[in-house]
Structure 1
């Protein structure tokens, strides 16, 4: 495996660990509180904290397993329902963001699903105060198109992530924040694909990706 691939894998692992630190830390705090607490009402709150934190950690692991790893079975394709199942808790778990899903039921290639999941990951982070995240996809034979729209009262895209998506970030500047965007860019432009960002207004950002099948 080339050093660049190893570095990218390490950075993606760092991002995964960063996102898991909060729910796992909350579980640890809940266990410590539960061990020292005798009040039934406080014990009930501690158990709820443990339940919520465990669910959050499990949801994130399922998402990252498909987005960064090799989940989805041994075949070349993934059922979009499986992608939606890991996206929905990530997007709607806070109760501040609505998910609109417009992806047909036909199987998608693992590459397309990985691109879709990581663009959702980036778009969801942009919705600082929540909002609406719309996910659409279309299969056009040799091409697959993905459109992801993030709309909310405060939509912020980190400049470094924006540069990584545009292909303007040097390899030595990639870190755990930008690794997913860098990977998405590479997966899309392979075989002549196109990745674009539109910003029609201050409250909306739209990712568009055209993924082309490799030439036989």
Structure 2
């Protein structure tokens, strides 16, 4: 059984790892800007600083919604908010096209957190670019979510797959698998479940999450 403290520590390690590159680029850019005198080169450095600042901001907004209490403490989260943070990360990635197929205005917060983390896993898998398709719908009292990554090469750690299905042993838990483990726990706590299918050029992940009684109209 993974302790909450261990899981929180691993999630923090993952967030720090993901933020290190853009924040480090900001620091390096500022050093270059202080030393560079050529106007054309200074302009290029400023452009790099702006790009790194955008990526840092996009990641922080995403992580706040995916792991934190963003969206308030109510049961539902606006789907537009989830779309915006996913679209921002997709635009920062290399040659990744996002296809969005969700018409609902809001979704339960646990389902949104699951969807965001599946999207993050999909983006990580598209190391050579490709397409990411995200769909969700309310059906017979459940929220059904599907995230598909399609590209020339899919990079996917099978331990992440084990974590998604709740089969990962505590000793195998790492900062790389912590988010998948977290949403598997979240799905189980809410009476739902996760699954995935992997082939050479596609990774498909799905989730079924019961809709909270208070949101069923």
1:65-144 map, 5 Å: 65-144=64-143
Aligned length: 214
Partner of 1:41: 40
Q: Give the 3-state SS of the residue equivalent to 1:64 in structure 2.
A: helix
* CA deviation profile, 1:29-50 (whole Å, cap 9, x unmatched): 0010011111001111111111
CA distance in 2, matches of 1:159, 1:3: 19
Between stretches 59-68 and 161-170, larger displacement belongs to: 161-170
Contact 1:197–1:206 (8 Å) recurs in 2: yes
State the Cα distance separating 1:68 from its structure 2 match. Answer: 0.8
Q: What residue is the counterpart of 1:9 in the other structure?
A: 8
8 A Cα contact 1:191 1:215, kept in partner: no
Deviation at 1:94, TM superposition (A): 2.8
SS in 2 for 1:148: strand
Deviation >3 Å, runs of 4+: 213-216
Post-superposition Cα deviations, 1:174-194, rounded to whole Å, max 9, x if no partner, equal 111000010111122334422
Q: Which residue number corresponds to residue 22 of structure 1?
A: 21
Q: Distance in 2 between matches of 1:177 and 1:94?
A: 18
Deviation digits for residues 192-214 of structure 1, max 9, x if unmatched? 42211123x41111111111246
Q: Distance in 1 between matches of 2:87 and 2:190?
A: 30
1:58 aligns with 2:54: no
2:100 aligned counterpart, secondary structure: strand
1:209 aligned residue (203, 207, 210): 207
Residue by residue over 1:57-106, the C-alpha shift from the partner in whole angstroms, topping out at 9 and shown as x without a partner, is 00000000000111002322100000001000111223400000011232
Q: Which secondary structure state, in structure 1, belongs to the residue aligned with residue 3 of structure 2? A: helix
Q: Deviations over 1:122-142 (max 9, x none)?
A: 111011101000000011242
Distance in 1 between residues matched to 2:24 and 2:122, nearest whole Å: 25
Contact 1:153 1:203 in 2 (8 A): yes
C-alpha RMSD of matched pairs (Å): 1.8
Say which SS state the counterpart of residue 136 (structure 1) adopts: strand
Q: Which runs of 5+ in 1 are unaligned?
A: none
| 1:153-180 deviations in Å (ceiling 9; x for gaps) | 0012112212211222112321110000
Conserved? CA contact 1:165–1:195, under 8 Å: yes
- Looking at structure 1, the residues matched to 26 and 194 of structure 2 have their Cα atoms a distance apart, in angstroms, of 39
